Amino acid sequence: MSALKTNVHLRQLLIGSNELGNLAMLHLSFVLKTNHALHELSVRDNKVTDAGVLWFATVLKHNAGLQSLDLAQNQITDKGAEVLARVLVQQRTLTHLDLEGNNISATALTAVGDALAAYTPNQDDPPPPPPP
């Protein structure tokens, strides 16, 4: 995954259904710390838990490129959704988030939705990157 840190050409990374687990989320967080060219990431059905979301979320709020994140069909609970909600208030480029098939309550999903809705761009924000 170290080559992904500096790859400015890859816009889409679909690595679903590979049973990568939380360790992959840790590695991906290192990638997204420096790679702002990636627009779409799918880690669906990879046995990611709240711990993996926590590692990933610490970097997500600083990433200025990711527009679509697919975390569907994992093992994320309300705790992971709440971590995402706190980060999404600060994340300025994400426009698509898929959490389908996780163990998340309606209350936690509402918090995620509210966090996404709470962000309103201001004049000082750079425009989002163009779609690929």
Six-digit token pair at 82? 């709440």
User: If you average pLDDT over residues 36-57, what whole number do you get?
Assistant: 94
- As a whole number of angstroms, the distance between CA 82 and CA 21 comes to 19
- pLDDT given at position 123: 44
Who wins on pLDDT, 85 or 126? 85
pLDDT tops 80 at residue 6: no
Q: Residue 40 forms beta bridges with which residues?
A: 12, 68
- Quickly state the pLDDT bin for 117 (edges 50, 70, 90): confident
Span of 46-55, 88-97, 116-125 with lowest mean pLDDT: 116-125
Two structure tokens written together for 47: 């046995």
Tokens 């709440």 found at: 82
CA distance 39 to 41: 7
pLDDT of residue 54: 94
- How do residues 24-42 score in pLDDT, each as one tens digit? 899 888 888 888 899 999 9
2/77 Cα distance (integer angstroms): 29
Segment 55-65 shows an average pLDDT of 87
Write the pLDDT tens digit of every residue in 63-115.
889 999 999 999 999 999 999 999 988 887 888 999 999 999 999 999 999 98
For residues 72 and 75, give the distance between their C-alpha atoms in angstroms, rounded to a whole number: 9
Token output for 128: 């989002």
